[in-house]
Structure 1
């Protein structure tokens, strides 16, 4: 348990026939920023939500605007859309909540393992620590050690998951108790299987450093990300980052994990499914792009030429904007506050703020968590892919939470129907290339 105090509960549900900004954007098929553009042009009216948090919109007015603009409207209930009930994470009015509790306050006050337990069970267990079984950890390290030296962290984590799976002959037991036991051993196994980080100019450091059995996961992960000695403010920032990233509703990797769980795949396979999607450049790898951008800003002394290069070549400026938030990503805001207490982060933090301010001249985009992760990785001597490793280790707990929830649902319920757009039958049998006609 961390020293910070305070926690909070989410606001109540919006009134009937009123839509939140996120719901309005989804119904119109636009970004939240566009919703407010409609308001400013008089095409849509808004009211303050109860308690003054965010805006609400009249559902009938939104539907009328959708018809006028030709924007999409929501699919009828049961028509194959993938909106379904979950009690894990709520994202609403530029904030997000784990089981109804403010996720940022949880991450500020409690360690990653404690937040994971809350997400899994709805119970808080102060001081809980996860332990990797010796046999499982040894198998994962052997498998990861056999990979080519150029392998990335996500490659290593995927292999570690498979090795951990083979070391658990009871992995097909999907009872909550068995799944939780697997999760509590898998997360530290993933961290323990990663090789220690080495200085770019050094060829040493391949031996595993001893790890204290009572060390929190953030402290165990630190030497896998950077060769620099750990200091308490940096460890606190890493621990909070892990806790903040545990879950974020039905992100692409989480949806993949739930599909696997719906097919009654065991928890290791669920995590493998999530890792496969996470490696996409638009998901877990996004922080690496932000890391490289911040490095270039620091080298060139200003964000102006770097942002200009992105705009000139038609590339998005990484680390900015989020489809679920109209203001700054609350995860980024929390991490920036902690990184401000890390002396060596001052330059990278200033570079990030320069990027936001420079881009705002062109389009009003706010910082997201990828930019905050990049500040952490750049300032602490980590590689560009360190943020992806943090993301993957952290989100493993979220995928397990969704698997536990999905195991209680009807199997194979996520089976959308395809809309066939190919040639209509009957078509003649195709001829093999180079085959003479008969």
Structure 2
């Protein structure tokens, strides 16, 4: 039995290993297994050899274990990670406490990335890639089959850039920031340009534009692309970001952590979602009316791309910011009208608002870009956020991102199969 049960009068109460084991109903060695998995935190007894455990944390783990033993394992939505980066609240989101849409309206993508990484603004900052990194990435990308998609190219470019960096295993903050400032422009430079006369100079948005479309890089359009990049820098623990933090928890270097994010982002429910919205808009522009197109999507049991977001009850603030800029582009008017037609038509079926994928689709469809361009924009932009989360995770206990499986298979022991 425990000598002193924790109570509101004794919030500082800590348990010995024996007490924690008794409360959890396990052996003492299992308590330390919980510590190694990141499910419990321990502290050394002052002047002693044993460990102590926070009573509330132990009791919370005991309750969770009881729920799982009763056949009600967590759904995964209970996972919580402390972060100082992004806060989402109703219809707004913030980078380090500052409204993200306001940051994106007033600062370049590179400046917003620096703010997310360091909490300091560096006006006029630009990212440049070393020649060796770009050469290695381009060679690797050029060797891919012609049908390779943009995320294929970015993943290969990230791996190739890593091989060109012998100091990639240095996880000190300044070293990782140095990697970030060169990796992002390397990823962009590794993508094949759409015009033979394209030159890699100026802000990142300008360099990326020439790899997404052969249309002239007009100032107003570059502003929309740069704002889109800044808005997409981070969005809390999205699926790809969680993968990055798991990799960083195992102390994978920054290139490998980014590769983990790129491996997840290609899914149609994440980074590739804007491509589906892009194709939907083109079909609506071809037909001239959203109603028959939406009707066919619903008839075939498909969800309407570009609508709804589980974190926002109203319109996605990123979409709202981009739509406001797109209204200033005459070339975007048809695609913008089609997007509004999508929202209005779908509202008869379900009251869903536009999300950032629909806004990206308006940009890509009206700028002569391929349907996969939104995925490229998303991946390049989010690389900065992945680096920020990797940096946070490097400061945490290693291997803490290790949940326990809830075994529901045949009860052992079983006979060997014949």
Q: TM-score range by the shorter chain?
A: 0.7 to 0.9
Q: TM-score, normalised by structure 1?
A: 0.78
- Indicate how the Cα distance of structure 1 residues 252 and 139 shifts in structure 2: closer, same or farther if over 3 A, else same: same
Structure 1 unpaired stretches of 5+: 1-71, 198-204, 432-438
1:156 maps to what in 2?
A: 153
Q: TM-score, normalised by structure 2?
A: 0.81
SS of aligned partner of 1:225:
coil
Aligned partner of 2:88 among 76, 91, 94: 91
Q: Quote the Cα distance in structure 1 between the aligned partners of 2:401 and 2:316.
A: 30
Q: Quote the Cα distance in structure 1 between the aligned partners of 2:149 and 2:90.
A: 36
1:209 maps to what in 2?
A: 198
1:366 maps to what in 2?
A: 353
CA offsets 1:413-437 (integer angstroms, 9 cap, x no match): 1111111111111212122xxxxxx
1:327 maps to what in 2?
A: 314
Q: Quote the Cα distance in structure 1 between the aligned partners of 2:341 and 2:73.
A: 39
Q: Quote the Cα distance in structure 1 between the aligned partners of 2:297 and 2:307.
A: 13
Divergent runs of 4+, >3 A: 72-76
Q: How far apart are residue 208 of structure 1 and its match?
A: 7.2
Is the 1:80–1:415 Cα contact (8 Å) retained in structure 2?
Answer: no
Q: Quote the Cα distance in structure 1 between the aligned partners of 2:96 and 2:369.
A: 33
Is the 2:73–2:406 Cα contact (8 Å) retained in structure 1?
Answer: no
Is the 2:335–2:362 Cα contact (8 Å) retained in structure 1?
Answer: yes
Q: Quote the Cα distance in structure 1 between the aligned partners of 2:203 and 2:96.
A: 23
Q: How many residues align?
A: 348
Aligned ranges 1:95-134 → 2 under 5 Å: 95-134=92-131
Q: How far apart are residue 74 of structure 1 and its match?
A: 11
Q: Quote the Cα distance in structure 1 between the aligned partners of 2:77 and 2:277.
A: 36
The structure having more radius of gyration, on CA atoms, is 2
Is the 2:249–2:393 Cα contact (8 Å) retained in structure 1?
Answer: yes
- Indicate how the Cα distance of structure 1 residues 155 and 101 shifts in structure 2: closer, same or farther if over 3 A, else same: same
Is the 1:321–1:368 Cα contact (8 Å) retained in structure 2?
Answer: yes
Q: Quote the Cα distance in structure 2 between the aligned partners of 1:73 and 1:302.
A: 47
Aligned ranges 1:14-413 → 2 under 5 Å: 81-197=78-194, 205=195, 207=196, 209-212=198-201, 215-413=202-400
Is the 1:307–1:317 Cα contact (8 Å) retained in structure 2?
Answer: yes
2:8 maps to what in 1?
A: none
Is the 2:199–2:207 Cα contact (8 Å) retained in structure 1?
Answer: no
CA offsets 1:156-198 (integer angstroms, 9 cap, x no match): 000000000000000000000100000000000000000012x
Aligned alpha-carbon RMSD (Å): 1.7
SS of aligned partner of 1:350:
helix
